[in-house]
Amino acid sequence: MKICIVSDSHDRSASLARAVREAAAQGAAAVLHCGDVIGANTLRAALDCGIPLHVVHGNNLGDPLAMSRLAAASQGRLMYHGDDARIELAGRRIFMVHYPHYGHALACTGDWDLVCCGHDHRASVDKIAHVRGGTSWLVNPGTVAGIGAPPTYVLGDLAKMDFSVVTLTADEK
């Protein structure tokens, strides 16, 4: 199963939707958004792409009530998890949180195959040694909005546990 990992869209609906469309064209079957969506309307165009979105909020929360209402009306396409998320996709244990230091700490536990975070707008893909003697993936997709850094997302393959940072293409006019 391929996934699209995004973060820090900061009300940039067009950039978020473009990343989701690009990832879907590459076979992504789900989107993990690691926070700082800001407003529920930011997600509408991405939802129109037709693949499920898992979302946590970050330090730029926006309106959680509107986000909850959009999730309820989405017929299962939007899962709004709140501060963090514990999900399973394709047999992989995944934890999502906004803050990289929490993400690193959770990767170190060995409880998760993949930990996704955001916040610092710096894309990175790292294998983290954990206390059980193995490794967990820690993935930060950077900022899909392109604030202070190029607009990026991560395309991941859960079967292969392979993750690539993708720079968002220019908007077609």
Residue 173 belongs to a domain: no
pLDDT at 62: 82
> Is 102 part of any domain?
yes
Structure tokens belonging to residue 15: 């950039």
Is residue 116 within 8 A of residue 34, CB to CB? The reply is yes
65 within a domain of the structure (yes/no): yes
Q: What is the largest CA-CA distance in the chain?
A: 50
Looking at the predicted structure, is the pLDDT value of residue 22 above 80? Answer: yes
Residue 172 has pLDDT above 60, yes or no: no
First to last CA, the chain: 31
Nearest residue to 16 (alpha-carbon basis) of 51, 38, 46, 40: 46
Contacts of residue 164, Cβ cutoff 8 Å, sequence gap at least 6? 125, 154, 155, 156
Range of the domain at 57: 2-167
Q: What is the CA radius of gyration of the chain?
A: 15
Q: How many domains would you assign to the chain?
A: 1
- Looking at residue 169, its pLDDT comes to 79
Q: CATH number for the domain including 111?
A: 3.60.21.10
Domain contains 62: yes
120 in a structural domain: yes
- At residue 170, what are phi and psi to the nearest 5 degrees? -65, 150
* Span 124-155, pLDDT tens digits: 999 999 999 999 999 999 999 999 999 999 99
